[in-house]
Amino acid sequence: MSHPEEDVLVDLATDEQVDAAVRAHVTTCPQCSAEVSSLREVLFAVREPRPELVAAPPGVWDAVSAEIRRADSASELRPAPSDLEASSGAAAEAGRGAPESPPASGEPVDLAARQTDRGRRRAPLMWIAAAAAAGLVVGAVGGLLADRTEQAPTAVTVASTTLDTLDTQQARGTAEVLRHADRVDLALRTDPLDPPQDGYLEVWLINEDLQRMVSVGVLRPDAPDQTFPIPQQLLDEGYVIVDISREGFDDSPEHSGDSVVRGSLAT
């Protein structure tokens, strides 16, 4: 059998009804099985809640500007190193009895060097103010995201059962119904279950009347933990018996009657 079309693989990933032969092919074909698994991972990722980025709180950038202006004002009022050196020299001369007024032939002040020196002092203050503001923004956004994460609803287990073999009543796995904010999942954890040589393993929900059943999906034999989305309506109508059966490539959508494990969900 040739590989199914991409839209058919999408149907499998979303647990839509497809031809049994296609399911069987995907179960035994590594390429198709990997594609379906990738599609399911994408679907689960899309369903997960995503935190929204938020703008900086009002006044943050005003605080940055004010800090920069304050730094500029402090730089203008602070004497340049050349002024401090001149003052120190004058004080030293005064202590030795030298005239208090500087000599008329003193060296001229290098205004360009002074301006460059002020710029060097101002730059670190500007960077510090910007970094502080960035810290405020990151902190505010991080705090909001942390609050959203803490408030994000988690999955709640509403029903569970062990999956036992029908003949020896040996526990081979568990099944749980997980309720999320926007969906309900059937989560299975099983020991390695060998599919038939010419077939596959299928997961069912059987009604309490043991007359009606619904296929949930194909169980991959290489994955101990698997999740299947299910409608809440099935549980409400009494489809609470989890069954895993061996199915053959016979193009029959009905249960084969060969159950591997089974368990009744209890709340």
What is the residue extent of each domain of the chain?
6-49+155-264, 60-151
DSSP for 107-152 reads PPP-HHHHHHHHHHHHHHHHHHHHHHHHHHHHHHHHHHHHHHHHHS
Q: What mean pLDDT is reported for the chain?
A: 75
The lowest-confidence range among 62-66, 137-141, 142-146, 242-246 is: 137-141
Instruction: Render 38-91 in DSSP notation, one character per residue.
Output: HHHHHHHHHHS--PPP-PPPTTHHHHHHHHHHHHHHHHHHSPPHHHHHHHHHHH
Torsion sign (Cα): 200, 205, 209, 211: negative
pTM: 0.46
- pLDDT 10s digits, 6-39: 887 787 777 777 777 777 777 778 787 778 777 7
26: burial class by Cβ within 10 Å (0-12, 13-18, 19+)?
buried
Q: What is the DSSP letter of 5?
A: P
pLDDT single digits (tens) 158-208: 999 999 999 899 999 999 999 999 999 999 999 999 888 889 999 999 999
Look at residues 15, 19, 18, 12 and name the one whose alpha carbon lies nearest to residue 35: 12
Q: What pLDDT is attached to residue 7?
A: 81
Average pLDDT over residues 101-129: 50
pLDDT at residue 139, as a whole number: 52
The answer to whether domain 6-49+155-264 has CATH 2.60.40 is yes
